[in-house]
């Protein structure tokens, strides 16, 4: 156990909202994560607490989103939808209109803002909102299941409070909406590790997208080859991310913990286990900075829930050998998948896979170092 104060952000209220049944995006992942943690006794103890999300105030929403867009989203909830709303991405296949669409988006974003306020007030060292992570939303456009960009809003609130913010995004899709928000600013550094944009939505996040004007060098994109596995991913992470965090020296880290990089995700093509996420979180904690974590993608529900539950055990200093406790958690959940604990099994990697991934990844690492490291006084 550690002295870190960790807050898990969730409520019965947010549990009631759902995207349409045929949408790959399942909001119930957050509630299921909370249930796993509660059943395993991981939501109470010294330094551990829960907090409920509250709707994000409109004044805060307008720090990033336009009034016109917010109005269109509210109208969609009331059944008023037109071509103008469609042009904003509202009512598309990946951003469908559903009952209480606006209320849910604003409450989910509010959860992340609650976490930001807990950190700013000194009441939390770690705050985790698994219902957050809508990094594809733009000021006037919904995209990729995202309507309100809670990550961008949280970074803005923290930056306005005088904090240097490091935004790290390990979702399999490029964190394009957040990068857009800070592309010409230097008080928020955005780092996104994601599948190669040539093979996956949203088609952005190449190595040469490094920011502009005052923000040049403060937007970092690390595209990953199809089939990237734990060892390769962690090598790329360790070569790029810790040196940049050290050089930037943030006051707070905002961490998008999308779980769609995991092997078997139906919408992506990477090959990770949740052990890679565990290692990344341990890396971040060594910097001894407050961390505001959110959910994100993850379309294999069981894998996502297990990954987020494992992440919480590390955030909250409970990442000990769970042993019998993990087995009992599995029994109570009536799922043999949990009886080995929260960590995934190691996955075999073929020589062909190594030959496909490693050389391409090494080239990417060298390119990023050449383009970005000198700006921050780091040796290439």
Structure tokens at 91: 């009512």
Q: Is 205 helix (H, G, I), strand (E, B) or coil?
A: coil
Of 157, 32, 147, 172, whose CA–CA distance to 97 is shortest? 147
136 catalytically annotated: yes
Distance CA 328, CA 49 (A): 23
Q: Which of 136, 173, 194, 300 is catalytic?
A: 136
Structure tokens at 341: 């604990």
Give the Å distances, CA to CA, from 292 to 92, 115, 179. 30, 6, 17
Whole-angstrom Cα Rg for the chain: 20
Structure tokens at 187: 């008080």
Question: How many CB atoms are closer than 10 A to CB 328?
Answer: 16
Distance CA 221, CA 190 (A): 8
Structure tokens at 258: 């999308």
Give me the torsion for CA of 216, 261, 105, 127, rounded to 10°: -80
Helix H or strand E encompassing 189: strand 188-195
Distance CA 33, CA 325 (A): 16
Q: Return the sign of the alpha-carbon dihedral for residues 61, 267, 26, 100.
A: positive
Per the listing, tokens 């093509």 go with 269
CA angle (34 as vertex; 50, 94 as ends), nearest 5: 110
Counts for the chain of helices (H) and strands (E), in that order:
13, 8
Phi-psi region of 230 (alpha: psi -120 to 50; beta: other; left: phi over 0): alpha
Structure tokens at 41: 């006794």
Distance CA 330, CA 324 (A): 10
Structure tokens at 94: 């990946």
List residues with catalytic annotation.
136
């Amino acid at each position: 156990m550690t002295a870190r104060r960790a807050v898990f952000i969730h409520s019965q209220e947010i549990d009631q909202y759902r995207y349409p049944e045929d949408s790959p995006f399942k909001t119930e992942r957050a509630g299921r994560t909370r249930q796993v943690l509660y059943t395993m006794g991981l939501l109470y103890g010294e330094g551990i607490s829960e907090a409920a999300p509250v709707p994000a105030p409109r004044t805060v929403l307008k720090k990033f989103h336009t009034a016109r867009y917010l109005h269109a989203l509210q109208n969609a909830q009331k059944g008023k939808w037109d071509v103008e709303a469609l042009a904003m991405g509202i009512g598309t296949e990946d951003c469908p209109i559903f009952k209480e669409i606006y209320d849910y988006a604003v409450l989910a974003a509010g959860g992340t803002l609650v976490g930001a306020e807990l950190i700013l007030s000194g009441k939390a060292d770690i705050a985790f909102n698994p219902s957050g992570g809508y990094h594809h939303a733009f000021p006037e456009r919904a995209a990729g299941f995202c309507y309100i960009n809670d990550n961008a809003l949280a970074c803005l609130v923290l930056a306005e409070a005088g904090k240097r913010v490091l935004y790290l995004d390990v979702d399999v899709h490029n964190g394009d909406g957040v990068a857009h928000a800070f592309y010409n600013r230097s008080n928020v550094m955005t780092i996104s590790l994601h599948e190669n944009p040539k093979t996956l939505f949203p088609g952005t996040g190449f190595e040469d997208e490094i920011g502009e004007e005052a923000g040049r060098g403060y937007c970092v994109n690390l595209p990953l080859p199809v089939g990237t596995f734990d060892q390769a991913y962690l090598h790329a992470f360790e070569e790029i991310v810790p040196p940049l965090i050290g050089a930037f020296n943030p006051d707070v880290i905002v961490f998008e913990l999308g779980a769609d990089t995991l092997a078997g995700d139906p919408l992506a093509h990477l090959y990770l286990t949740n052990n890679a996420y565990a290692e990344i979180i341990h890396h971040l904690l060594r910097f001894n900075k407050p961390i505001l974590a959110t959910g994100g993608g993850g379309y294999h529900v069981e894998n996502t829930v297990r990954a987020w539950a494992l992440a919480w055990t590390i955030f909250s200093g409970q990442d000990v050998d769970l042993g019998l406790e993990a087995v009992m958690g599995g029994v109570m959940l009536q799922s043999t998948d949990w009886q080995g604990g929260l960590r995934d099994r190691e996955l075999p990697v073929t020589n062909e896979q190594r030959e496909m991934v490693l050389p391409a990844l090494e080239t990417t690492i060298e390119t990023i170092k050449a383009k970005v490291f000198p700006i921050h006084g780091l040796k290439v």
